[in-house]
Amino acid sequence: MKASLSLIRLVAIAGSVLMLAGYASAQEQYVRFEGTTCTATPYLHCPDSECSGPTVINEGNVVEMKTRRTYFLDYPCDLKKGEKITFVLSLHGAGSYGNWQRNYFPIMDYKDKYRLVIATPNSPTRVWSEADDQYLQNIVNFVFDQIGRENIKAFWLVGHSQGGMTSNRIVRTDFFKDKVDGWLSLSGGRLGGSPGRGATFAPTGSAPGAAPAAGAAPATPGAARPAAPAASPTGAPPGMAAAMAALREPPANDFSFIYETGRREMDDKGLPETSDWAKKYNCGTRSNPQEIVDTKAGYVYDTSRLNQLRPGWGLMPAPGKAEVYTFPDCKDGRIVADVVRIDKGHTEGLEPKVTEELIKLMLSAKGGKLQQVH
């Protein structure tokens, strides 16, 4: 009898050991970026409404070890070693923060479905400049080293407002120009001809000719209004003038380009029907619009300027519609597209379905530049 009980215990222990070993083996197959944790619900995700000031101004829980500056890194918790992913570097606008950007363009909600790795950094001055370039390059190199260039099927820059202008500047630099497969500009300038600005775009109180604090973080009710970046003598925040000047000449390198904007940000002429960037790739005539209907509002907005009632700058988040225009049959598999959110301004966070449509456009474009870099 004692011998039978001992045998049973031995079998039970052996089974437990094998089970634990199998679990550990399975865990070892998943990618964990060094210095990060991974949770099913993204860290500091805003609720559906009334996202708090302390939440949106957070600068992330991942440390870039060379500069000791922080950032956010979102990726699928079940990401397997050797799995192919799309890497996105997402830049906030002037006067804003990394976590506001994450919730303004919430692609982290789709990281599992579309196998995305998303880095969202912060500028300590809240306005991007060349002083931030090494920090951004360090983040990109970290992701490359951790996951392997061979596993990154496409690398996209995303930027809201001055973050878009910064994307336009850095995509021309030696570090980025042979790596980036595409740029998504969220009201950050349109390659191939930009629309005019609407009369209610700039918030009141700005210095004459000054660019607004694009992407300014919302404040909690009763909280102090976030400070806008100081204007330079020319009237634009530091780094803004150079970024705007860069938009006047198209980049020489090749990549896909998607432009998204709110209808209320533009003047009465609206979006140009043609695009010089589309002509560069011999794309076809712009398509009729595809309508996207969102029944759910975005997560964030600029609460600090709601009393100014500037629709071009942005009002409260709300459900809405968007129109997607594509220039078909571009050579070399490039994508050129425009997306206009109807009845939206500059700072209302993007809604779920239009966010997902932008991801689909990004993923439909040709990638693979990193595999060509030696």
How many other C-beta atoms can be found within 10 angstroms of the C-beta atom of residue 17? Answer: 10
Cβ–Cβ under 8 Å, residues 181 and 254? no
Q: What pLDDT tens digit does each residue of the chain (374 aa) get?
A: 555 555 555 545 545 444 444 444 445 689 999 999 999 899 999 999 999 999 999 999 999 999 999 999 999 999 999 999 999 999 999 999 999 999 999 999 999 999 999 999 999 999 999 999 999 999 999 999 999 999 999 999 999 999 999 999 999 999 999 999 999 999 999 999 999 999 999 876 543 223 333 344 443 322 222 333 333 333 455 555 655 665 678 999 999 999 999 999 999 999 999 999 999 999 999 999 999 999 999 999 998 887 778 999 999 999 999 999 999 999 999 999 999 999 999 999 999 999 999 999 999 999 999 988 65
Rounded CA gap, 294 and 322, in Å? 8
Q: Say what the pLDDT of residue 66 is.
A: 97
Rounded CA gap, 272 and 26, in Å? 52
Give per-residue burial for 309-347: e unless 16+ CB within 10 Å, then b: ebbbbbbebeebbbbbbbbeebeeebbbbbbbbeebbbb
Rounded CA gap, 39 and 37, in Å? 7
Q: Are strands 69-74 and 62-64 parallel, antiparallel or unpaired?
A: antiparallel
Q: Say what the pLDDT of residue 233 is.
A: 32
Q: Say what the pLDDT of residue 9 is.
A: 58
How many other C-beta atoms can be found within 10 angstroms of the C-beta atom of residue 7? Answer: 10
* Greatest Cα-to-Cα distance within the chain, rounded to the nearest angstrom: 93
Burial of 237 (0-12, 13-18, 19+ CB in 10 A): buried
| Residue 173 neighbours by CB under 8 Å, 6+ apart | 133
Q: How far from 177 is each of 101, 188, 334, CA to CA, in Å?
A: 24, 18, 16
Give the H or E element holding residue 70.
strand 69-74
**Continuous H helices in the chain:** 2-28, 53-56, 98-104, 111-114, 133-147, 162-170, 174-177, 240-246, 276-280, 352-364, 369-372
